[in-house]
Structure 1
Amino acid sequence: MHDIAIRRTRSKAGKLPRDQRDATPRLKPKRVVLKLGSRTLTAGGAELCAETLARVAASVTRATDVEVVIVSSGAVAAGFRVLGFDAPPEAVRDRQAAAAVGQTRLMSMWEAVFRDRGRDVAQVLLTNDCLADRRRYVTVRDAFTALLDRGVIPIVNENDTVSVDEIMVGDNDNLAAITAALVDADLLVLLTDVAGVFARDPRKDPDVLPIPFARSATELKELCFKKASRESIGGMVTKLEAAERAGRYGIPTVIASGTDADTISAVLRGDQIGTYIAPAAEPLRARQHWMAVQRRLEGSLVVDDGAVSAIRGRASLLPRGIVEVLGRFRKGDLVSVVDRAGVERARGIVRFDDRDVERIRGLHSSDLEQVLGREVGAVVMRSDRMFIMDEEQG
């Protein structure tokens, strides 16, 4: 859905292979997910910067041939002073309260800057709970499609007020990657306070230039963090993790400066800017993507080494390889498959509830009908309804 032109470029990017250092992609995206963090929206301060939001709206509305979904942080920044805090609070309940107050103000600001330019916006608040059930996941996806078809710009944020560990998506970089897959975006754009991904810390080495192109986020992580601590790179860790996730869904990522006034327009025009990270050659299918994004699973099946090998070979999970059943689940639930050490090896849709799996674990498939007293299939989890964690890890 996009064109890539390759041209030569000079770079002090680091020791990536020459074909990656010199390959500068030029994109013509049709649908983009644009993630704006609090640092970008506050222009480095504590409160939202109205001028920054107006600049974003101007850039988005000028690109009349591109559909844009905005993943926007900033609810806490918009609300903390209303509650009497001098700075964004650290306590979870205070941040949730500030987000509850600030989310309405954040949306009012987005609505105002886009209304001035003749565009409507819609608020979409997500938690992992919205994505856990396959039907709700499809419903959310269809809602995005309906909004985009009508020219409305979705403004997405995590529902911080009700989010707890069990239903949190996590950081908004991760949320942006999931959103990009939900809307079948051509491109994910993650804006930050630096010009892209660097092999060395640009604050310590002002002559270093951003890496223009990488075949995968995994390679960038290995290059950038080999000699540097996670803290020294700031928020780049989560951005590369989000790019890695988006890449598995077949979506390229651009990481670029949110402080440069022309960045968004340049990306939407198809100009090369920041760091472009190519997607996986074989992206996940829609059902695999749904499985991959889940944080809450209904239970676990502990399997032996033989079952692990079979799963890695894309075989279905048979009862004989199951050594233990953990948790309560029903037929059709999404369940984790772990090895004896507790490492998740796969996840998938089970064809039996936990009580039946407990009765048939360790048995040959030919014994199932006799034990359960009814005719059943021979597998507990089919390979075509399974997501192998090696795929998640790249």
Structure 2
Amino acid sequence: MVSASMIDNAERFSPARCPRLIIKVGSALLVGADDEVRREWLETLTADIAERMRAGQQIAVVSSGAIALGARRLGLPGGGRNSLEDAQASAARGQIALAQVWAGVLDNEKLQAAQVLVTLGDLEDRRRYLNASATLDRLLSLGVIPIINENDTVATERIRFGDNDRLAARVAQAAEADGVILLSDIDGLYDSNPHSNPDAKLIPVVAEIDDRIQAMADGKSSSGMGSGGMLSKIEAAKIAAGAGIDLAIISGHDDHALKHFFDTGHGTVFHGEGTHGARKAWLAGGLTEEGVITIDKGAVAALQNGKSLLPAGALRIEGEFSRGDLVLILDAKGNKVARGLVEYDYSDACRIVGRRSEDVQAILGYAPRSALVHRSHMAVL
């Protein structure tokens, strides 16, 4: 029996309510045990995509699999992940194979594919983010399906997304999408690990990601092939929700996985609840910060009420940053409160921590700015 919540799950991703959709396909689904593409399965997926496109939905695909495919062709052990150099070489070879596969199966459905490779910096730097956004918007408006992946050929261990779940959510922000579907090796979020607990229950709807929901993620991929797990999917859902984007985790194992979801709504859907504008959504979804500012209870309340962060509310500052860099704002217990662009260089910020606004000019020797982090350049998390 299909419940009312599952019907709503499917309806949220209909062309009428979700004109622009991002679909993420993981390595374990796309690549079989022989390290070759599961082409017959992929053809059923692209048939589902074609059906949605004909119904008026614009779709982009975030596709894993390049490293696995490249490692097979280069004869590298460990799936190409034994070292950063092996992963980069595998990605360089595998991206060609991956693009050819997607172009071929979509061509069979009379659809055009375009390859888009991005790095973490492309979506963390504001100007490059806007460039990526414009490119995606143009491709989608032309009826082309962008096939998107992290550019692992040049990414490093430090400067990379590390998983395509978060990449899909960040791409959804840049593309101004309405929904994200993560095709996974598990059919949703459970209240405990279904692999070890046969009585685990699927959670069909998550209206808010709180500590209870966070605790349900174990951070492990059941296949061992992907780089993410349920933890990365929860993080992706946070990014999407902050921009008002719905995100679904569904099983991709069976043929016509998308059609099955659209027919039944079976999976877990995280409701997009954010009201951020485009710029604040970009701030909220940021994955790299140049520094951290820890604040007191009064400042937490002020930020949650739409106020700026003043020096008096800061308890501690860490990191080397310059004015205009992105910083993370934490409460005294280490919980994330906000992200924003700092108004002072690190050295001056340290000098005015905890000081009243009227004292700042005397300390710094110049007219102070109105806030440590201004509300106009801040997204509360």
CA contact (8 A) 1:37 1:191 kept: yes
CA contact (8 A) 1:59 1:264 kept: yes
Please tell me whether residue 386 in structure 1 is matched to residue 371 in structure 2.
no
Partner of 1:243: 237
* CA 271–341 in structure 1, closer or farther in 2 if over 3 Å, else same: closer
* CA shift for structure 1 position 45: 4.6
* CA shift for structure 1 position 230: 5.9
Once residues 220 and 241 of structure 1 are traced to their aligned partners in structure 2, the CA distance between those partners, rounded to angstroms, is 14
Once residues 117 and 201 of structure 1 are traced to their aligned partners in structure 2, the CA distance between those partners, rounded to angstroms, is 38
Partner of 2:341: 349
Partner of 1:48: 37
Higher mean alpha-carbon deviation, 121-130 vs 339-348, is at 339-348
Q: Encode CA deviations 1:326-347: one digit per residue, 9 max, x unaligned.
A: 3333322222334566655432
Higher mean alpha-carbon deviation, 329-338 vs 355-364, is at 355-364
Once residues 251 and 113 of structure 1 are traced to their aligned partners in structure 2, the CA distance between those partners, rounded to angstroms, is 28
CA contact (8 A) 1:218 1:244 kept: no
Once residues 162 and 57 of structure 2 are traced to their aligned partners in structure 1, the CA distance between those partners, rounded to angstroms, is 28
Once residues 98 and 282 of structure 2 are traced to their aligned partners in structure 1, the CA distance between those partners, rounded to angstroms, is 29
Once residues 90 and 297 of structure 2 are traced to their aligned partners in structure 1, the CA distance between those partners, rounded to angstroms, is 49
Q: Encode CA deviations 1:299-342: one digit per residue, 9 max, x unaligned.
A: 33344554344334443222233455433333222223345666
Higher mean alpha-carbon deviation, 41-50 vs 184-193, is at 41-50
Partner of 1:16: none
Structure label with greater radius of gyration? 1
Alignment-mate amino acid for residue 26 of structure 1:
E
Once residues 173 and 274 of structure 2 are traced to their aligned partners in structure 1, the CA distance between those partners, rounded to angstroms, is 14
Partner of 2:169: 177
Partner of 2:323: 331
* CA 173–371 in structure 1, closer or farther in 2 if over 3 Å, else same: same
Alignment-mate amino acid for residue 260 of structure 1:
D
CA contact (8 A) 1:211 1:274 kept: no
Once residues 359 and 36 of structure 1 are traced to their aligned partners in structure 2, the CA distance between those partners, rounded to angstroms, is 48
* CA 224–335 in structure 1, closer or farther in 2 if over 3 Å, else same: closer
Identity of matched residues, %: 34
SS in 2 for 1:383: strand
Please tell me whether residue 9 in structure 1 is matched to residue 35 in structure 2.
no
Once residues 102 and 280 of structure 2 are traced to their aligned partners in structure 1, the CA distance between those partners, rounded to angstroms, is 34
Please tell me whether residue 363 in structure 1 is matched to residue 355 in structure 2.
yes
* CA 379–86 in structure 1, closer or farther in 2 if over 3 Å, else same: closer
Once residues 313 and 57 of structure 1 are traced to their aligned partners in structure 2, the CA distance between those partners, rounded to angstroms, is 46
Please tell me whether residue 75 in structure 1 is matched to residue 66 in structure 2.
yes
* CA shift for structure 1 position 233: 6.6
Once residues 296 and 219 of structure 1 are traced to their aligned partners in structure 2, the CA distance between those partners, rounded to angstroms, is 22
Instruction: Please point out which of 112, 127, 142 is paired with 1:150.
Output: 142
Number of positions where the alignment pairs a residue of Structure 1 with one of Structure 2:
369
Once residues 77 and 232 of structure 1 are traced to their aligned partners in structure 2, the CA distance between those partners, rounded to angstroms, is 15
5+ residue gaps in structure 1? Answer: 1-7, 11-18
Please tell me whether residue 186 in structure 1 is matched to residue 178 in structure 2.
yes
SS in 2 for 1:253: strand
Higher mean alpha-carbon deviation, 168-177 vs 20-29, is at 20-29
- State the TM-score, normalizing by the size of structure 2: 0.83
How do 1:80-229 and structure 2 match up within 5 A? 80-85=71-76, 88-93=79-84, 94-199=86-191, 210-216=202-208, 218=210, 221=213
Higher mean alpha-carbon deviation, 198-207 vs 108-117, is at 198-207
SS in 2 for 1:102: helix
Alignment-mate amino acid for residue 94 of structure 2:
G
Once residues 210 and 266 of structure 2 are traced to their aligned partners in structure 1, the CA distance between those partners, rounded to angstroms, is 17
CA RMSD of aligned residues (A): 3.3
Once residues 179 and 387 of structure 1 are traced to their aligned partners in structure 2, the CA distance between those partners, rounded to angstroms, is 18
